[in-house]
Amino acid sequence: METILAVLVGLLFAISVYLLLSGSLIRLILGVFVLGNATHLLIFVSGRLTRESPPLIESGLKVAEAGIANPLPQALILTAIVISFSLFAFLLVLSYRAYQSLDTIDTDDMRVAEPHAETLPMRGRDV
């Protein structure tokens, strides 16, 4: 089961890199979303996937028995989901505002907002 999920994590990372390198702002945002989900799944798989026993230490023992799932990655994922959802919402609002002001969602056409090379001050040259 862990092998299948490891392959799925690799596939999700590949999809997210493809989407992040495309020229559309919507694909870029979806790439960030898929990258976050791939990272969540990677953290989840690193905590072992067992359903044998709950992660509890019985009375009288100092160490938990072997074969339990690690609860720390599960707690980290809950926090990471909230953070990635807020980042996704922020990116949606930011892209909508960029679309309103620039009338495009193509990242190459958004270079209008950058200053031209002729208008930049010359440094290190005598004028």
Burial (0-12, 13-18, 19+ Cβ within 10 Å), 107: middle
Q: What is the pLDDT of residue 31?
A: 94
In the chain, where the domains are located = 2-52+69-104
- Who has greater pLDDT, 84 or 122? 84
As a whole number of angstroms, the distance between CA 39 and CA 92 comes to: 20
- pLDDT, one tens digit per residue, over 53-111 is 666 777 887 777 766 777 788 888 999 999 999 999 999 999 999 889 888 888 877 77
CA-to-CA dists, residue 36 to 23, 53, 91, 98, 105, angstroms: 20, 29, 13, 23, 22
- pLDDT, one tens digit per residue, over 10-29 is 999 999 999 999 888 899 99
This prediction's pTM: 0.72
Q: What is the pLDDT of residue 13?
A: 96
- Which of the listed CATH numbers 1.10.287, 3.40.50, 1.20.120, 1.10.3470 matches domain 2-52+69-104? 1.10.287
Q: What is the pLDDT of residue 38?
A: 94
